Amino acid sequence: MVSSSTMQETVETQPREGASKDPASLLQKLMTESQNEASQGFDTKSAIEIARIINHEDSKIAAAVKKAIPEIAQVIDQVARSLRDGGRLIYIGAGSSGRIAALDSSECPPTYSTAPGQVQYIMAGGPKALASAVEVNEDSEELGQRDIARRRPTRKDVVVGLSASGRTPYVVAAVAYARARGAFTAAVTCNQGTPLAEAANIAIVAEVGPEVVSGSTRMKAGSAQKMVLNMITTGAMTRLGYVYENLMVNVHMQNSKLVERGIGILMRACKIDRETAVQTIKSAGRSVPVALVMLKARVDKPEAVRRLAKSDGNVRLAIEDNVLEL
C-alpha cells in the first residue's frame, strides 16, 4: 500500500516530472488513458463477449505498428552497426514496459548466441520489480539517471526507452542522459508528442488507441511494444548474419530441445539426413554456424572458423567468403 505521504508527494510532483509545454500530454489526456467506446459496459458482458471485444481491439495492433516501420528499420540498422562495432543495445523501462524489455533481452542469448552483455535491460526498481510491483520508482528522474549512468553509455551503444504513455520520468531522464553522452537513443511509445519522443534521437510510435480496460497498457500497448522489440532484435541479428535464409542458425544448443532444433536446422539448410547432420555438428564443436559453413562451402572446421571470424559471424558471408558490409 502506498503511504499518504508518498501519495501526496506523487501528486505534488507529477506536473513537474511529466514536464511538457502541452497540458494535453498529462496522463489523463493521453489516448492510451481514454475510455474505449467498444468496451462500454464491459463488466456486464459474458465470457465470450469479453474475449471477442479484446480480440477485436487486438486486431488493431499490427496496423498501428505498421505505421512505424520506417523508424523501426532505422533502429534495426543502428543496432546492427552498434553490436558489430562492440557496442550494446540497452533497453530501459518501468512496469509492464520494463518487463517486456527484460523478456526480449533475456531471449537473445539462447536464440542468437549473443553474449549476455550485448543486449541488456534496465528496469525501474531493479530485477525484483519483474515479479513484484515497484512502480513508485518510475516517478524518479534521479533514479533513471543513476541506473543508466551505472552502465556508462557511450557513442557505441543504442539505448531504447519504453513507455506506453511516453512520459515516465524514470525513462525520459535515462534516455536524455544516454543521448547526452553520445549514445544513439530511441523511444518506443504509444502516444504522439511525448517527452520521451523529444528526449530520443528517434521515436517509434504505435498509436493503438484506448485500452479495453482504460489505462491497462499491459494490453494493446504492451503487445505493440513487444512486437516492436521483436522486430528490432530479430532484424538486427538477421542483418548481422545470425540468420541464414529464415533459419535460426546461431541457436545456442544448451538443452535437448535446442540440440534437436540445431540438428533440424542443419538438415533443412543443407538438405541432408539426420545422421550426417549429427556427425557434422559434432565435428564442428557443437556449433551450427561452423557446421553450416563446412557443408555449404565444402571446407574443414578450421577454415569454417576462420571464415566466420573474418565475417564477424555472418554465416552467409562466411559461406561466400566475402567481406562484411552493413
Q: How many angstroms separate the first and last alpha carbons of the chain?
A: 51
Reduce the DSSP state of residue 157 to 3 states and report it: coil
Q: Which amino acid is at 90?
A: I
List, in sequence order, the alpha helices (H) in the chain.
4-17, 47-58, 61-66, 69-84, 95-112, 141-149, 169-180, 195-199, 220-239, 256-270, 274-283, 288-297, 301-310, 315-320
**Catalytic pick among 17, 57, 71, 138:** 138
- The CA distance from 64 to 83, in Å, is 28
Q: Catalytic site residue 198?
A: no
- Residue with the three cell numbers 557443437: 286
Radius of gyration of the chain (CA): 22
Contacts of 108 (CB under 8 A, 6+ apart): 114, 118, 119, 233, 237
Q: Which amino acid is at 58?
A: D
- In which region does residue 205 sit, left (phi positive, over 0), alpha (psi from -120 to 50) or beta (all else)? beta
Supply the DSSP symbol for 101. Answer: H
Q: Which of 184, 181, 204 is nearest to 194 (CA)?
A: 204
For 34-88, the DSSP string reads SPPGGGTTGGG--HHHHHHHHHHHHTTHHHHHHTTHHHHHHHHHHHHHHHHTT--
Q: Which of 193, 204, 196 is nearest to 178 (CA)?
A: 196
**Catalytic pick among 107, 135, 303, 320:** 107
What amino acid positions are annotated as catalytic residues?
107, 138
